[in-house]
Structure formats: structure tokens, C-alpha cells
Structure 1
Amino acid sequence: MGTLTASLVLMRWELVSAVMMFLASTFNVKCRKTSRNGIAFIFTGVGIGMSCWFVTGLLGITLSMENLHNFWHITKDVFIDVMSHTPTDYPMP
């Protein structure tokens, strides 16, 4: 019983996101069948968001402000590096 409880505590967010993905998919299908495309689009977004949350939880990625700051800093540095290597007379379409 202790092992089951420990596994549920450790996997709680992954289980919640998996249930939410299932519910979003179910409601998406039901809304599409009844021609409620706007609500189905919302459920599609919920499903995509939950799948991203599920994957980040499984990979151990934490979405903190420090990690977002580091990502933004690295992205900025790479963009500046790439742009510094482009020719000045680059042909425009």
C-alpha cells in the first residue's frame, strides 16, 4: 500500500495532465461532431498545453523564471551571432 501511495504522489502531475489530455480529446471530438468548432479549437489548445506539461514533467524540465531568463539570454546571443555572419549586401526578394 505504501508503494502505491508513493507512486501516486510522485506521478500526480503526470496523471492529472494525462487525464486532462484524455478529456480535452474527448470533448474536442464531441464538439466537432456537433459543429461547435470554436469550442473544439479551445479544447485543442488545452490538449496541446497539457501534452507539453506532460512531456516537461517526464523530462524533468522545470519552467521557472530563471530557466526562462537563461533561455531568452541564449536565444538573444545566438540571434546576434547569426545576424553578425550575414552579408551586408544580402539580396532582397
Structure 2
Amino acid sequence: MEYFIPKNVKTRVELLPGFGIKELLIVLVGAVIGLILSFIIFFFSKSPMSFLVVVLFAALSFFLAKPEPRTGRNALDLLKDIRSFKSKPSRYYYRFGEGRE
């Protein structure tokens, strides 16, 4: 007996389309980092505007974690790919002679 699984079935839980638990954790980590930095800034400046850092870090991490709908890849994946590409050798040694036409 064969079972046919439709292509649109996803195994991951998504809170919003394309935004799941992994992306939510990335946004929360960004917000916590922003909160720590804003407390440090607030300690020295005593300005309540320093808490905008939390919003900025949370928004930045949201845009880094949210995957593009067409490709399903987010900016963090692209940055990892760029880093791994640049770590590989960029000089290729070709052997000239026989077998080359």
C-alpha cells in the first residue's frame, strides 16, 4: 500500500507564515541583548530614550530571522553561505597541456 503525502505539508510549527519557533527565539535573543545594552546606556545617560535600543535590536533580529517567501532562506543563512564561500580557496590552478582544447 502506498501513501501519498501532499507537497504543502510542513512539519514545523509556524506562528506566522514563514515565522516559527526558531525565528521567535532569534528575535527574543535580539531583544534581550538590546535590553542589556539599553540598561547600560540608561545607567550612564539617565535618558528613557535609551530603551529604543530594545526595539531596534528586536526589529533587526526579526528582519534577519524572517525567511524570504520565494526562497525560504533568511538573511542569517545567506551570511553563513557567504562566510563559507569566502573561507574556501579562491585560486584555482589549471594544468595546461594535454586534454585542453
More strand by share: 2
TM-score tier by shorter-chain length is 0.3 to 0.5
More helix by share: 1
User: Greater CA radius of gyration, 1 or 2?
Assistant: 2
TM-score (norm 2): 0.32
Q: Which has the higher contact order (CA 8 A, sep 6+)?
A: 1
